[in-house]
A and B are shown apart, each in its own frame.
Chain A
Amino acid sequence: DAGVIQSPRHEVTEMGQEVTLRCKPISGHDYLFWYRQTMMRGLELLIYFNNNVPIDDSGMPEDRFSAKMPNASFSTLKIQPSEPRDSAVYFCASSLKLFRGTGELFFGEGSRLTVL
């Protein structure tokens, strides 16, 4: 079975441009998470969905960030306008259920964003 699929793997853009990151979770997984990895803060949870509904977006840095999940097999994270401080690796992860005892989130390979 295919894992979590993210695109693009790498994105280089200029400040002020719109960036859209995409994610296809593992089929049948009910939960989808967007994380951002930076050296200073490690992996930060931005937002997560349950059955396509956003549950907790308290980690979204500011209004420039938005996320959608129009169906069970697709999610997007959009940054508009992008800024250099948004440069990071963005991970999407999915799970069958919110873990209690199994602890497994399945992560994609990440999208490395560079904003010049």
Chain B
Amino acid sequence: AQKVTQAQTEISVVEKEDVTLDCVYETRDTTYYLFWYKQPPSGELVFLIRRNSFDEQNEISGRYSWNFQKSTSSFNFTITASQVVDSAVYFCALSEDTNAGKSTFGDGTTLTVKP
């Protein structure tokens, strides 16, 4: 069985602070995919990144960066110089299937960035 744990239920920071959202996963498969999604108050799910289990290279996209560590089964997400528009619920998800739409989601972390 697969499981995704986002231990941080809510995080509140002041604008321009850096913030890291934690994600720990469990799976028995050697091939799997990890995702991060953003859900703003409007409700839609915005895809942020996908990582496959064979690619441990960290990734940076603008103010966003992701740290994938297979040794600790973690896939953490850092926002640098946070902005108010980053306020949202962030979900980490795991797919053991090549069909990435079938995923197990963590409970989400609500990030509030205050001006």
**Chain A complexes with chain B:** no
